[in-house]
Structure 1
Amino acid sequence: MEEQSTTVDMIAAALRNNKTRPCCCQLKIALMAERLADHPLAHLMPTNAMRNVAMLMVTTPLSMMLDVDLSFGHNLNALVRNKTWIQILLQRTHNASQPMMYIPPAFEAKPHHSLNAAKVIVETALQGEKQTVSSLWKQGILQAFQIDICLHCHGTFNHTRWMGTDVPYTVKYTQGFEPWGILNRLQDPGYDERFRGWLYNKQTHVEALAQKHKFVLTVLPDVWVVHRPHKKIASRKLVKPAPDNEKANADVMEMLKVVTLLDGTKASVYSSYRKYVDGLRYKARTALAARQPYEPQLNPQLRHCKKLLPWWRG
C-alpha cells in the first residue's frame, strides 16, 4: 500500500506540472423528453434512442459514439489536425465493399484504488503519451476497461499487442465484443431503440456492423480512451443485484415491485423487462448469425428528421 501511495503521489506531481493543451472540440447539446406509460421504465435510460439523437446532429463525414464517462487521450487533438491521418481514415471508412470501423482501446484505473487516486491515474493516462499508458498498465495501476467483469466484451482488442505496435491492426469480431469506434456516419444503420438501460444495446449494434454490414474492425495504435471513475447509478445495480437490495433507493425498489402482467401472472417490473430484453437479444443474434433480415428499430420522428435535414438528405 505504501508503494502504491508513493506512485500515485508521483503521478499527481507530474500532472500538476503538465501544461494545459488546447482542445479542438465543438459542443452541441440537445435536450430531449420522453413520455412513458410504465413509470418504472423511466429508471432505465433510453440509451439507444439517445445515441440516435446524438448521431442526428453529426454533420462531419466521420462519427463516433463515445459514452459520456469516457475521454480521449490528449494526442487526438493533434491527430485530427493531421490531414494525412484524416485522409487515410476517410478512404478506408468510406470503402463501400469493405468499410472499416476504427476502434481505440479503452482503459480504466484498477478497481482497488480510491476514487481520488483513480481520478489522478485517469488524468495522467489522458494527458500522457502512449508510453505513459503502457507504463501504468504494466505496473498494474491501469487495466483494460471492465476486463475483470466481462473478458469477452473488451479482451478482443489484444492490449498486449497494442502496447508494442505503431501500426493499425485488424481483429476478428467475437460475440459480445463492444468497442467504441470511428466510422462513416452514412453507413451507420443506427441503434436499435427497443434496447433500454444497460443490456446488449451496444453489443447488438457492433454485432450488426460486423455480421451484416461486414465492417472490418481495425485497432488504432495511436489513440486510446479512458473511463472516468464515478458513482454508479443506483438502477445500474439491477443488472447484478446486490444482497442488500432491501436498502436500495426508490428507483431500484420501484423496479423490484411485483406487478400483475396481462396474462395474470405476477412478476417484478425488472424481471419482466429482463425477460423481454433477453428475448430481443436472442432474436437479433439468431437472425444475424443465420444472415436473416435484421434492422434496428428507429423511431418515426428520427426517420422524418433524416429526410428533412440537409446533411442527411441523399
Structure 2
Amino acid sequence: MLEIELEGMAPGVFVHTCVLVMIILTMSPSYQGLALDSVSSSSRNTSAENLLKQCYNSQFESSGSRFSEYMDGKPTRSLYLHRVWWSTRRAEFPISFFTQADLQRLRALQEQCKSLPGGTVVAAIWLPLGSTIGPRGNDAAADAEAAKLGPGLSARHIPTVKNATAILDNVFAQNEAASNTSCVLRLLLLYEIVFDEALGLLMPINTMRNAAMMATDSQLVAMVDVDLSANKDLAASVMRSPERVAEMILLAEKQHMAWIMPAFDVSPSVPPPMRNYVADEALAVSREEKSRLRDMWTKYRLIFPFAMERGYTRGHNATKYEEWFVSQSHYPVYYEEGYEPWFMASRFLVPFFDARFRGYYMNKLVAARNTLLLANMRVLPDVWIVHRPHELQVSNYGWLEAQKTLQKKHHTEKMVLDQAGGNEQFLRELTPALGHPLLSVCEPILYNGTSKSARDAFFERNIYFYKSAVSQMETRNYTPVADVAADNCRKVLPWWSRRAS
C-alpha cells in the first residue's frame, strides 16, 4: 500500500513529485476505464452491457409502481433495463458525466455530449408504461411478442418500446459517427411499469441517476443534469493535462475533494430563438477571458449565476462568483445550507442518490448536502457549465408553482398532476403506452384515509423525505435509501471492485 502525504491545501498544493510521476505514467493518451480491465477486449462491450443488464434486472418486479408505495418511501422495483448502448470508442481522459432524461430531452443530451469530446457521458432514459394488471387482449401472437420484448409488457406497449429503442438507436449511431467532435456515449433505456397515472408524470429521478452511475468506470465522475453543457476548455485543455488530472484524481481520492464547477443560466429576458446562441457563446469563452462572462452577466444581462435571477441565491452563492471571475487557481469554499452545486468527485466516494424521491423537487438538495458536508471543496477556476433553456417539465417545481398561482386566479383550472396542464399533446401520445388517458388524472389520491390531489401529495412527500434526511444527517445517521437494483450492481460489477493501491 502506497502512503501519500499532502502538505497544505493552498492553491499551490504540494504533492510528492514521485507520486505525481507514477500517476501520470499510468495514464495512457487514450484513457481506458476500469471496465476494460475487467472484461476481455474482444467482447468488452457485449459483456459490459450484459453484466449491467443482468445485475440490474435481477431485482425487477413487474407488478407495477403504485403511488401509495411512493408515499410510503418505497423505491420503485418496476424499472427494467431494456437496452444498453455502450460505445466502442475509448475515452481519452478519466471523467464521466452521468445524467437522466426522458425522450423529450434527447436534443439537450446531444448538446451535452458535444461539450465533452473525449470524455464519457452516461444517460439513463426513462420510459413510463401503464401496468398490465387486468385481462390481456385476445391477440395471443401480440401478447407472445410483448413477452419476448420484455417482462411486464403487453401488446399495447410494443409500438412505444420499439419506437423508443429506434429513436435511441439513431441518437447513438449519430454520436458514434461524430467521432472526435462528441463524447463517448453510453445509453440506458429503462421502462417503468406504473400502476397509477400520476406516477407517469413523476420520474424516479434519483433511481435513474443511480442506474446511470453504475455504467461509469472512470476515476472522476460528475452528476450533471442533461440540460447542462461544459465549457470548451474542460475537454480541450484541463483534462488534456496529465499533471492537472493527476492532481485532481489524487486529491479526490485521498482528500475527498469535490471539484466545484460554477454554473450559469441564460436569462429569460433573452428572446427564445437566441437563448441557445447565448449558451454557446458563454461556453466558448476561453479560460483566459472569464471577464467576458462577467460582462455577459452584469453589463448585458444575458446570463447569470445559476438560479440567481429566479430567486434561489442559496443554491450557488457559496461558490463565490466574484472571487471566481478573478481567480487563476482553485480556491476553497465551505458548505452553506441550501448549497447544491455540480461537482466532480471520486467515483468510489459518491454515495447513492436517495431513491425515495420522484419528480424535480428537493432531490438534489439532499444529495449535495450528503456529499459536501463530508467533503473538501475547491472551485475549479477554468471550468464552468451552462444551463440550456428548455420547456418546463410536468413535474418541474417552477411550473407546478406557476400552475398553483394560475389556479388562484381561475378556480376552475385543474392542477398539474390533477390534469396534464400544458403538455396535453405529449401526454396524448403517451396514452397508448400507459394504457389509460393521462388527461383524466383528476381523481384525488387517497392515502391513510386522507384525500388530496396528487400535486399536493407530491410536494408534501418530497418535503418530508428532505426533512427526515436532513434530521438524520445532523446526527450523522443518514444513509441514502438505495434502490436494490443499483445496490446489487455496485456489489457485483467488476469495474466497481476497488483495485489495490
Q: Shorter-chain TM-score category?
A: 0.7 to 0.9
**Of 301, 304, 313, the match for 1:151:** 313
Please report how far the alpha carbon of residue 57 of structure 1 lies from its aligned counterpart in structure 2 after TM superposition: 0.5
Deviations 1:54-81 (A, max 9, x none): 1001011111111110000000112111
For structure 2, the residue ranges without an aligned partner over 5 or more in a row are 1-113, 119-182, 408-412, 422-437
**Greater Cα offset, 28-37 or 58-67:** 28-37
Alignment size in residue pairs: 290
Structure 2 partner of 1:86? 245
Deviations 1:88-123 (A, max 9, x none): 10110001xx41110111012222111122221111
Q: Secondary structure at the match of 2:395?
A: helix
User: How many percent identity over aligned positions?
Assistant: 28
Please report how far the alpha carbon of residue 53 of structure 1 lies from its aligned counterpart in structure 2 after TM superposition: 0.9
Q: Secondary structure at the match of 1:181?
A: strand
Q: Secondary structure at the match of 1:103?
A: strand
Which whole-Å CA distance do the structure 2 matches of 1:29 and 1:115 have between them?
29
Which whole-Å CA distance do the structure 1 matches of 2:264 and 2:440 have between them?
31
**Of 335, 351, 366, the match for 1:189:** 351
Q: State the one-letter code of the partner of 1:271.
A: D
1:170 counterpart = 2:324: no
Please report how far the alpha carbon of residue 176 of structure 1 lies from its aligned counterpart in structure 2 after TM superposition: 1.1
Deviations 1:23-82 (A, max 9, x none): 322111111111223220220111111111110010111111111100000001121111
1:142 counterpart = 2:314: no
Contact 2:227 2:388 in 1 (8 A): yes
Q: State the one-letter code of the partner of 1:275.
A: E
Structure 2 partner of 1:160? 322
Q: Secondary structure at the match of 1:183?
A: strand
Which whole-Å CA distance do the structure 2 matches of 1:28 and 1:305 have between them?
16
1:199 counterpart = 2:357: no
Contact 1:46 1:197 in 2 (8 A): yes
1:228 counterpart = 2:388: yes
Instruction: Map 1:112-127; keep pairs closer than 5 Å.
Output: 112-127=269-284
1:46 counterpart = 2:204: yes
Please report how far the alpha carbon of residue 304 of structure 1 lies from its aligned counterpart in structure 2 after TM superposition: 1.5
CA shift in 2, pair 1:127/1:235, >3 Å: same
Determine which structure has greater relative contact order: mean sequence separation of CA pairs < 8 Å that are 6+ residues apart, divided by chain length.
1
**Greater Cα offset, 296-305 or 64-73:** 296-305
Contact 1:258 1:266 in 2 (8 A): no
1:282 counterpart = 2:440: no
Structure 2 partner of 1:70? 228
Deviations 1:224-282 (A, max 9, x none): 00011111123321245343352777434869735252433221111122222111111
Structure 2 partner of 1:61? 219
Please report how far the alpha carbon of residue 305 of structure 1 lies from its aligned counterpart in structure 2 after TM superposition: 1.5
Which whole-Å CA distance do the structure 1 matches of 2:196 and 2:479 have between them?
25
Please report how far the alpha carbon of residue 127 of structure 1 lies from its aligned counterpart in structure 2 after TM superposition: 1.4
**Of 129, 132, 136, the match for 2:286:** 129
CA shift in 2, pair 1:39/1:256, >3 Å: closer
Structure 1 partner of 2:489? 305
Deviations 1:186-225 (A, max 9, x none): 01111001011111111101111133xx101211011000
CA shift in 2, pair 1:21/1:295, >3 Å: closer
For structure 1, the residue ranges without an aligned partner over 5 or more in a row are 1-19
Which whole-Å CA distance do the structure 2 matches of 1:103 and 1:163 have between them?
14
Q: What is the TM-score normalised by the length of structure 2?
A: 0.55
Normalized per residue, the structure richer in strand is 2
For the aligned residue pairs, the C-alpha RMSD in angstroms reads 2.2
Return the index of the structure with the highest Cα Rg. Answer: 2
Structure 2 partner of 1:33? 191
Which whole-Å CA distance do the structure 2 matches of 1:241 and 1:21 have between them?
34
Contact 1:177 1:206 in 2 (8 A): yes
Which whole-Å CA distance do the structure 1 matches of 2:116 and 2:323 have between them?
30
Structure 1 partner of 2:90? none
Which whole-Å CA distance do the structure 1 matches of 2:313 and 2:116 have between them?
35
Please report how far the alpha carbon of residue 155 of structure 1 lies from its aligned counterpart in structure 2 after TM superposition: 1.3
1:243 counterpart = 2:405: yes
Contact 1:104 1:224 in 2 (8 A): yes
Which whole-Å CA distance do the structure 1 matches of 2:371 and 2:402 have between them?
28
Structure 1 partner of 2:266? 109
Q: State the one-letter code of the partner of 1:82.
A: S
Q: State the one-letter code of the partner of 2:320.
A: N
**Greater Cα offset, 108-117 or 242-251:** 242-251
